Structure 1
Amino acid sequence: MATNHKTRMLIIGSGPAGLSAAIYGARAGLEPIVVQGLQPGGQLTITTDVENYPGFREVIQGPWLMQEMQAQAEHVGTRMMWDTITNVDLSGKTFVATGDGGDTYEGDTLVIATGAQAKWLGVPGEQELSGKGVSACATCDGFFYRGKKVVVIGGGNTAVEEALYLTNHSDDVTLIHRRDSLRSEKILQDRLEANPKISVLWNKKVDSFLAGENGELRALALTDTVTGDASEIETDGAFVAIGHAPATELFKGKLAMDETGYLLVTPGTPKTDVPGVFAAGDVCDHIYRQAITAAGMGCQAALDAERYLAERDFAGVTETVQY
């Protein structure tokens, strides 16, 4: 039998943004409910070594970090629900989300922290070697390739930015693009061309990622998109940089988005165009996409949700007194 769950603060998504919002919301007495979704813990659960999250001297594991965040959120009063939201109604005084089993979740405020997923090439070896030389985040993993040979795959802003960033760690960076010109902004292309640490392989398509005897990435198998010739490029690390897809399908036609599907918020805040609905983390951030920035935005969302409720409740009391 379907159950209705009510809360002062409903959170969809259980990555760093959602769990940070839950921690702050619970401490404010809002008794938040977190609906965890298809990937409880978010993208950090498929990340092995994490070396840039503040507070930890040694390398930590992504899944462990998310387990600790969830335990902290539960410790201060958060209810974690194992469900996947299939529909949302943002038209009423409260916001209602429906799970795939029929349960409904009703919140006086809503924090959307559904995140974004990196786009992958979908070729052999890519997922098998993820964390073993293949990555989709140079800022996250570039440090592990200090002094090594790395490649970046893509031709847009993300790819060029990743290649430029990697020159902080490597003197041998190769950008691989399937066309003969980049799609990135001109200023980024100028910086790329001026950097002696970066070379470009034009008209090359990645067919597969090849493992060495140690089970780590050894090389990429390529095909020339003009001549059809096959080749390989040896590398220690490969960064797939063909963009991200925000998990916002549920909110199309209900919240303002940009042309790529990221939720639009008031600059410097997590406020969407619907009062009482807030967005935090990668679902609205296509620039930084870090666990620490997502956590910070989750904190902002909870604080703004608390203020929204305080103002609404005060207005209701005032109206009652006037009558």
Structure 2
Amino acid sequence: MSEPRKVIIVGSGPAGYTAAIYASRANLEPLMFEGEPSAEAPDLLPGGQLMLTTEVENYPGFPDGITGPDMMEKFRKQAERFGTEMHALNIAECELEGEIKRVRTSEGDWHEARAIIIATGASAKWLGLPSETALRNKGVSACATCDGAFFRDRELVVVGGGDTAMEEAQFLTRFASKVYVVHRRDTLRASKIMQERAFENPKIEFLWNKQVTEVLDVSAGKVTGVRLEDTVTGESSVQDCQGMFLAIGHKPNTDFLKGQLETDDLGYLVVHSGTRTRIDGVFASGDVADHVYRQAVTAAGMGCQSAIDAERWLEAKGY
């Protein structure tokens, strides 16, 4: 095996690509594994979750907006310009302890590096309905702050019963004429204060003991409503709407780590003093370590931090 690389970046998106830009400009010659869709993680695309977003209007520097895929292509080209080597592969296994870190790709090849930056992001949890998949970006979304402004004066459905669902519903009332919260139980998991705010909002209506069984209308190529099933009686009904937002949580993409790094109660990587993990020489950035903001701009900021942290760590070690 050849001499270990200075830096391997696992994952892409705003965090990974920004880390690559900074690392390559610092002559660290980073090797990046961008990820690829799999049966276990169909959303694990090179470019991350923004590849599933039609329009981005809240990233500074794009006054007329830009599509998620176009933005990630610009990020990618900028990282390539400075010499980042990229492969659209997943990492299946890694050995992070010790002076030399090792990662194994989905094709079975092992690669070594002095430092590792993990930027694998988090994947939104979906209902798993074929109609939901068919209408993603056509009225079905998992990010209210990303897509809510495109639904002015529309009726929307939010699926979920936790704090995230209440936050999404509250946010969407800035644009929507009505927000229906669909919850499979008759009580919410959300904190008391979040429940009170939602109950007091005149634009929010709760549909209790209901679950979505189909998103309408795939044949029309847009969302016109949702088919609901009563979880108590089994009765079927249809709620008209022009958009559906999933708020049933996110899952950080950390399975390949096999528990080697410290995580919080939700499974997100814990970082200290910037982007450092508990293992010396391993850094984390973006949504894999951030379940609070989950925005492209904050992920990019963490990507910058992780590259600078890695560069300073390598220099201090004499690499």
Could you tell me the TM-score, scaled by structure 1's length? Answer: 0.92
Structure 2 letter corresponding to 1:296 = G
Structure 1 letter corresponding to 2:277 = T
Gaps spanning 5+ residues in structure 2: where? 37-44
Are 1:11 and 1:111, in contact at CA under 8 Å, matched by a contact in 2? yes
Whole-angstrom distance in 2 between the partners of 1:98 and 1:15: 20
Whole-angstrom distance in 1 between the partners of 2:81 and 2:99: 29
Whole-angstrom distance in 2 between the partners of 1:181 and 1:83: 42
Are 2:117 and 2:285, in contact at CA under 8 Å, matched by a contact in 1? yes
Whole-angstrom distance in 1 between the partners of 2:130 and 2:208: 21
Corresponding residue of 1:42: 48
> How many corresponding residue pairs?
311
Corresponding residue of 2:102: 96
- Give, in angstroms, the shift of residue 22 of structure 1: 0.4
Corresponding residue of 1:193: 199
| 1:192-211 matches, cutoff 5 A | 192-211=198-217
Instruction: Report the secondary structure of 2:305's partner residue.
Output: helix
Structure 1 letter corresponding to 2:18 = S
Corresponding residue of 2:10: 12
Radius of gyration: which is bigger?
A: 1
- Give, in angstroms, the shift of residue 5 of structure 1: 7.1
Note if 1:76 corresponds to 2:76. Answer: no
Whole-angstrom distance in 2 between the partners of 1:82 and 1:212: 31
Corresponding residue of 1:30: 28
Picking from 208, 225, 229, the partner of 1:223 is 229
Note if 1:294 corresponds to 2:299. Answer: yes
Gaps spanning 5+ residues in structure 1: where? 317-323
Corresponding residue of 2:41: none
Structure 1 letter corresponding to 2:31 = I
Note if 1:306 corresponds to 2:311. Answer: yes
Structure 2 letter corresponding to 1:274 = I
Whole-angstrom distance in 1 between the partners of 2:105 and 2:316: 30
Whole-angstrom distance in 1 between the partners of 2:190 and 2:146: 21
Identity of aligned residues (%): 51
- Give, in angstroms, the shift of residue 170 of structure 1: 1.9
Whole-angstrom distance in 2 between the partners of 1:5 and 1:292: 34
Whole-angstrom distance in 2 between the partners of 1:5 and 1:142: 48
State the 4+ residue runs in structure 1 displaced beyond 3 angstroms: 3-6
Instruction: Report the secondary structure of 1:106's partner residue.
Output: strand
| CA gap 1:214/1:76 in 2 versus in 1, 3 angstroms | same
Structure 1 letter corresponding to 2:285 = A
Corresponding residue of 1:139: 145
Whole-angstrom distance in 2 between the partners of 1:81 and 1:36: 6
